[in-house]
Structures are given as structure tokens and as C-alpha cells.
Structure 1
């Protein structure tokens, strides 16, 4: 596992690059560190890494302070507003006539503005050096603090989903999706789990908007463990994303949930549909299915509905005249073919009912997964209105149909 995974659609649980709303990830290093803790951590580092640490931090009393950040600021100081409307009380606390640094981490834009304003002679730390220090702190057994990642929002005002109408601000729903993406990336980079090893199930979402988020200016997102303590391979997920624009926190999203190993998740998520429930295909399912016969002949059929016991296809002269039907193959976009054995058939009006033969365990699970993800339940009203079944049922599939007819 790398220290920082690249931002890809796959790591964010997306399929296409157009859905990615994050860029420019970096791990932030603390603005202030307890001196006693830092000395214990750095003691075991190589001489080169120690030099990098003391090049980046200065000692001030009981703490080490990042050299590019002022420890205190005159409370009467005003910061130029040409680029930021910096809210100092979010990062500094008043004590008499001075404001003292209390924030453990600073957004990249805020740190750079403070450096340019108060410490212009200090050379900013390179991202490579910051990444090395962040990784070294994370690896240390004495260091219990959670990593803090910073991201930039990719805000395309032509986004087909979030900007279907003209907005003068970033839609709140988009910020929630940004937070979710950042949390997934952070989780797979910092938790010890790899993508595909677990499923993250959301149980609680707390969203707070303190200001409108403007589309005009850049937005930085800081994400970390809510309680600030690193967790390795956790079973419980609790992360907070903080959104900053022009030096102010404008939104905050907290997500809580569970991390479940995929085999257990898949077992828990198998739905046992009633045998008499029928489902219509979504647009992800190809309506033309392939019907296989004894003679290895494959014919196309128009899929109408599907259940756990069989499927309904539109009747045709070809299907009515061929010999025994042995299989049916249904193509699902992104998943491929679902191939199932056919045991019997019966004609009902302009429909042919194909009843499944005994399904293997894997086939049964695949069928349930397909219904769960790619089909829609046909209500009794919809079912009766289609007038699919006009003859007396002769098998269990038709019996299910008759029960709907009796109700209508």
C-alpha cells in the first residue's frame, strides 16, 4: 500500500473520469507539535530525516512551530484582502493583545497567506519534503495523530448532474459528494485497507453549511479522523471533511459508518425475493436475450420480465417452433452475460414463460444480484395492466402470474 493513492475513478467508487470531483491531494503536516512528543518521535529517525524536521520547525517553549507560520499575531493586525478574507479566529485564539496559534493543521492557502504576510523571508517547504515528514510521522509508533489530507475541488459548472440549472454558488449536494469522494480516498490511503477489501456502509451523515460556497474561488477540503486519532483497519468509520474558501470554513461534513469485509458484506446483501415477485429490466439490461436449444442454436427473444423462478419473453414463431430450450443468456451493461438453465416453457397469450431448471448456488446469487441492481419491481397494478397472462397457468411460473390476476 502506497502512502498516498492516486485519485482515480476506481478508488472513489466511480466508473468514469467525469465523475471525479477531487484533485491535488497532499498530506498536511502539523502547524504545531508538542516538543516532548516530537523529540521522542524524531529520535529514531535517520540523520537526514532529522535535519529535514528541524529545517521545517522552530522550537518555541514547549512546542515546535512550523517555520512558515507565525506563533502569535497582534490582535489589531489586518491581513490584506486581495486574495483571502482570512478569519483568524478560526486558527488563532485571543489572549490579551495577541492572537496565539491553536490550530493543529492549516489549509494550504491559509498557511501560504500567513507566510507571505508575516514571514516573507521564510522559504516555503516543498511538497516532497512535506510528504516525507507526513509519512515519517505516520510510521512512528509514538505518533497517534491521524493523517490530515488536503484536496482541491474540481468544480465544472457544466457538470451534467450538479449544474442542470444555473447556480451562483456550488450546490450543497455537490459538496456532500465531494466529501464522500475525499473520505473514500482518505480511507484507502490511510486505514490499512485496500480498495475492494471492505465495503464502507454509511449509517450517519451530519452536514453543516456556514456560508455559501462560491463557484468563482478555489475550495480546499481538509479531511481526517473526527477525533484526530489514527485508526488501522478499523471496523468503525468516523471522518470529518472541512471546506475552506478564501480563508474561512464554509462547510463541514461528518460521516459515520462501518467497514465490513467484502465476503461478509456480500452475504449480508443477498436479497431473498419472494418467488411471486416479478421485475422489469432497467436500461442497463439488453432486452434482446439469447435463447439456447438442444441443437446449440441461439435465437433472440424480447425480454419482458424476470423472477427467481423464470422469465417472460415475447412470443415469436421461431421460439414457438424450436425444440427444447435449454438456456437463456441476459446481457447486463458492465457485468456481461448472466447465463441460466431453462427446465420448461409454457405459452401464455403473446408471451412465452421460461421456467428455470435447478440453479447452482453461484447462479442463484448472480440472479439475485442482477435483480437487485438492474431490475425494477413490477407492482400488482402494473402487472395486471400489462395483460400478460390470458390462459390457464400450467406450471409454477404461471401460478405466480395467476395470483396477480386474481387480485386485479
Structure 2
């Protein structure tokens, strides 16, 4: 198990519980090299300069990571049994007759780990060192910036993504969710948007799984923008998450999405729920409810059904006459919600003790809140909802969108 403080904060990845966070140990990919003049011009204080010098060596007019060779002899590559890595190396090294020369700036940490087998290569940096170096370099004018973030997958076989089954590999859906979380974390780090200001709506999700991901080995995730670094406060995203295990690519996930401001996002998800539709409480809502009548009488009941117009409860206390009052329900993580009652009466159903609670007219904020309760905490019940003619557009009654919040118009507004 890992220390919880190493995990990415749950609100950054839009989760409500720490157990739902699948990534930890966030850090940036460091540039393989940078012009020495950038550091010379910066006039760093001695401590920051020492941090840079511990990570980089001077090589002609460049500062090169101590763990990376500037020149690789092809014969040494073969002797280290790394010939199969040549295609991978050619993305950042130029090939001459008998050796490779470092040219690219963004050498993957998995590649760096393989090159450590060559003679003369320095030890790789620790996680804390990488973070310290990045904190210094990000403030230097002209220093290469790509916004590439590494995470480690919290590969917990007890997680619900393993479906209470002994898997020998990580399920693909778990990798997709980890990619989504890593993309959100990278987005808030570099987009210029504050947490809670926007939401990302997925338009397209492309996934490739060239290898199985073993459940018993570490998995590293590298996330960034697909082409270069996105402009600040961009309205569209194109993110890529690559998963590496034991130096090999095991999954590659690309997401196209739209950045939508939260007020617009809420309007887009604002559906009309017909009062004739009944729902069963599913989760997050306590089944025990309290009814307080205007006469001063209190009834304890068990929640069975909910609708925009009322509730159905099971109550052992006899009801002598219908009267007004309030019903109180408890919502997980939100507390108590109080709804005004117009009337209540015993149901005509054969089930004894069944009461129908008819809601009084709700003001706009409370109506919105109650609709959110039905959307988040309940599930449509076909048995209790009488069949009605389908809406004009042909959608099911319970999925009819408010015309003021139709998707195409709202996306234009976003």
C-alpha cells in the first residue's frame, strides 16, 4: 500500500473519495538537454544552481541529463543487448555510420532506464530530485516546456475495477479511467483553468492496447497534449495518455473533448422529468424518512418510490386524515433536504401501510435540487410508471431534454 498523501488530490480528478483515485507520484518529464546559456542568464541562487548541476552535466554548449549519453556507440548498444531499442532511440537520437547523437529534447523515462545499462551512464534521478529540478527550470526564460506529466498507476488488485475476480492483468476499463484522471490532473496543471470552473466533455476516445498490462508490476502513465503544448484556456482538448510497464508501451489512449464552463454544463444536463415518472431510491439516499405534519404529529416511514410530484412510503402508523406538512430525507455527503407536502393519503394499493405523499409547489431552487436527487440517487421504475404516448421527438419520456438546453446550441454557446 502507498501513503495516501502520494495520491493526486481527489477533487483534481473529479472524484469524491480517495479510494477512487488511481494515480499517484505526479512529476514532470524533464528535458533531456537545454542550452547552457539559459541557466547562465538566470543568475540562480546557489541552492537552485546546485539542484540543476546535480541533474545536468555541461556538454559543449548544452546541459545534458547525467543519466543520458550524448553519444551512443552502436557496438556498445548491441553488447548491452539493446539493439531492439534502436527504433525507439531514433525518435531522439540521430544516427551516423557507427553511433547515435542526442538531438531530441523529450526522452522518455522508460528509454532513460534502458540506457542505464550502457557503460558510463549515470544513475537516474529520484522522484524528489525530478520535482526539484522541474521547479527550478519552469521559471527560466527560454527553458523547453512541454507540459508532460508522469504518474504511477495505483495498481490495487482489490479495487472494484478488478470486479472481485483474481485477474492476472489490469482491465482495460481501469486504464481508461486512470487516463481520464491523469488528463484532468495535467489539464489543471497547465490549462490556466481553476478546479471547478469547467468540465471536460468527451467527444472521441481512441484506445489501443498493444500488450497486456500485468497486475503484479508497476505501471507508469505519461500524459500530455497530443501535438505540442495547448494554448492557455483553450476551449478544446486533445490529450494523450501512454502507459508503460517494464519499459514497454502497454496502452495508448487519446481523448478529444470540449472545455465547457460549469453553468453551461449544468444547463446541458438539465432534463425535464415528467411528474408521472416514478423512481426507486438507488444509492446515496437514506431510506428512513421523517414526516412532520402541521398538526404537530410526526411519522417515521420507509422510502419506496420518488417522483417530481410526490413520494411513496411505507408507514406503520395509522393516518386519520390528510393534512399538510413536510417530509425530510437525508442525502449522503449533502445532509438533510426538506420538501413541503400538499397532502398525504393511504394508497389504494393492496399493500397495507403504503402512503402517497403529494408535494406542494416547489420554488425554482428546490425544484432544481429535487430533480438532481432523482437524477443522481434514483432509477426509473417501469412497473410504477403508467404508459403514456411518446414525446414528439421520439425520446423516452424520462429522457426528454429541455429545448432550452439542447446539446448543439449549448455547445455553440460554450
| TM-score tier after normalising by the smaller chain length | 0.7 to 0.9
Structure 1 partner of 2:327: 328
Alignment counterpart, residue 367 of structure 1, candidates 366, 370, 373: 370
Preserved CA contact (<8 Å) 1:146 1:231: no
Preserved CA contact (<8 Å) 2:313 2:356: yes
Q: CA deviation at 1:142?
A: 4.4
Structure 2 CA distance, aligned partners of 1:217 and 1:348? 59
Q: Deviations over 1:324-349 (max 9, x none)?
A: 23111122223222211112234431
Alignment counterpart, residue 85 of structure 2, candidates 67, 84, 87: 87
1:172/1:87 CA distance change after superposition, 3 Å: farther
Structure 2 CA distance, aligned partners of 1:241 and 1:255? 9
Structure 2 partner of 1:208: 208
Q: Deviations over 1:322-380 (max 9, x none)?
A: 6623111122223222211112234431443322212121101101110111111122x
Q: Secondary structure at the match of 2:138?
A: helix
Q: CA deviation at 1:174?
A: 1.6
Q: Any stretches of 5+ residues in structure 2 without a counterpart? A: 388-414
TM-score (norm 1): 0.79
Structure 2 partner of 1:377: 380
2:71 counterpart of 1:68: no
Preserved CA contact (<8 Å) 1:162 1:173: no
Structure 1 CA distance, aligned partners of 2:257 and 2:40? 35
TM-score (norm 2): 0.78
Structure 2 partner of 1:243: 243
Structure 1 partner of 2:405: none
Q: CA deviation at 1:193?
A: 3.0
Q: Deviations over 1:121-168 (max 9, x none)?
A: x46445445324423443456457332111122212233332533322
Preserved CA contact (<8 Å) 2:6 2:24: no
1:105/1:353 CA distance change after superposition, 3 Å: same
Structure 1 partner of 2:394: none
Structure 1 CA distance, aligned partners of 2:268 and 2:219? 38
Structure 1 partner of 2:217: 217
Q: Secondary structure at the match of 2:240?
A: strand
1:22-41 pair list within 5 angstroms: 22-33=23-34, 35=35, 39=37
Preserved CA contact (<8 Å) 1:305 1:311: yes
1:163/1:374 CA distance change after superposition, 3 Å: closer
1:59/1:329 CA distance change after superposition, 3 Å: same
Q: Secondary structure at the match of 1:257?
A: strand
Structure 2 CA distance, aligned partners of 1:79 and 1:216? 30
Structure 2 CA distance, aligned partners of 1:53 and 1:181? 30
Give the length in aligned residue pairs: 375
Structure 1 CA distance, aligned partners of 2:40 and 2:233? 25
Structure 2 CA distance, aligned partners of 1:126 and 1:171? 29
Q: CA deviation at 1:12?
A: 2.6
Q: Deviations over 1:210-260 (max 9, x none)?
A: 212222332211111211214433322221111112222221111221222
Structure 1 CA distance, aligned partners of 2:196 and 2:79? 47
Structure 1 CA distance, aligned partners of 2:161 and 2:376? 21
1:303/1:217 CA distance change after superposition, 3 Å: closer
1:3-402 pair list within 5 angstroms: 7-33=8-34, 35=35, 39=37, 43-44=41-42, 46-48=44-46, 49=48, 52-53=51-52, 56-58=55-57, 64-76=63-75, 77-78=77-78, 80=80, 87-92=85-90, 94-101=95-102, 103-115=104-116, 117-120=118-121, 122=122, 124-125=124-125, 127-140=127-140, 142=142, 145-314=145-314, 316-318=316-318, 320-321=319-320, 324-350=323-349, 351-379=354-382, 381=383, 383=385
Structure 2 CA distance, aligned partners of 1:137 and 1:117? 27
